[in-house]
Structure 1
């Protein structure tokens, strides 16, 4: 994110130095269709999923925005949290982001052992096998905004000790 004194760049998909509300929708959600921006200018981005290309596009738009921009992210939890992690990397703070997660959808589980991310549709509190190290993980509602996922830890840790 640029301060007002920096020179604007082009090719970001919205006007250089944009200061308003960037509404980002993932999948087929229409949760932001009637989102009130409080009179601030609005720029809409719609992606099928939080693919590397979509994340790069979002990073570019945020990189060309100015201090004071707000971001609203809507869609499946895994996509919304991946985008929120990128927004935080770009300098946005929690107060500048609104997350609107769908009730259902895939969740990202971050393995505390090998630091691999595993995507699952399982509900919170259930077991899932890590795609990196194969450890059976259990995950709770402990969510890390930095890694964009729920912390998974060994489901059988007490048995190993």
Structure 2
């Protein structure tokens, strides 16, 4: 995956084998998809308010129907674009076929190792938060799972004597 800032990466559509572009934006970033030129190849633009089960399912079906050589550009909050990137990886897209463009928001997703609930937060790694599933106080680790698109959260004070 090519991470990028809010500016358009150069040469995204000039790769050998390029067969089209899927631009997916989340939140308030839908106007940024106009900056991607395809050199005459197909272009599919999708906008979602956020990444959830329904939107990711729609994205999965769009990717599965795409031809070999398609490139995927994901624009929006990091939590949303990483969830979409996980779907792209499950569908077989290689890292160099996916470009992530973050809107700079600090939202992150934390996976509870105890109850497997996902909690959204703006807290940085190394801090603590309460799990929305089991109410355990979690420490947000630096470990990020690309497969589940979330940071690992584990019991913050598990090593302390009871």
TM-score tier (shorter) = 0.7 to 0.9
Residue 22 of structure 2 corresponds to residue 22 of structure 1: yes
**CA shift at 1:38, angstroms?**
6.1
Q: Deviations over 1:11-49 (max 9, x none)?
A: xxxxxxx93111100011144331344664321111111
Q: How does 1:116-155 map to 2 (within 5 A)?
A: 116-155=117-156
**CA shift at 1:60, angstroms?**
1.3
RMSD of equivalent CA atoms: 2.1
Aligned twin of 2:4 = none
Q: How does 1:7-86 map to 2 (within 5 A)?
A: 19-29=19-29, 30-37=31-38, 40-86=41-87
SS state at 1:66 partner:
coil
TM-score, normalised via structure 2 length: 0.78
TM-score, normalised via structure 1 length: 0.79
SS state at 1:150 partner:
strand
Residue 129 of structure 2 corresponds to residue 108 of structure 1: no
**CA shift at 1:114, angstroms?**
2.0
8 A Cα contact 1:129 1:135, kept in partner: yes
CA change 1:105–1:33 in 2 (3 A) is farther
Q: What number of residue pairs does the alignment pair up?
A: 144
Separation in structure 1 between the aligned mates of residue 43 and residue 142 of structure 2, nearest angstrom: 32
CA change 1:146–1:110 in 2 (3 A) is same
Aligned twin of 1:14 = none
8 A Cα contact 2:21 2:42, kept in partner: yes
**Any unmatched runs of 5+ in structure 2?**
1-17
**Any unmatched runs of 5+ in structure 1?**
1-17
CA change 1:159–1:31 in 2 (3 A) is farther
**CA shift at 1:156, angstroms?**
1.0
Separation in structure 2 between the aligned mates of residue 80 and residue 40 of structure 1, nearest angstrom: 23
**CA shift at 1:93, angstroms?**
2.0
Separation in structure 2 between the aligned mates of residue 160 and residue 35 of structure 1, nearest angstrom: 56
Q: Deviations over 1:41-62 (max 9, x none)?
A: 3211111111322212211111
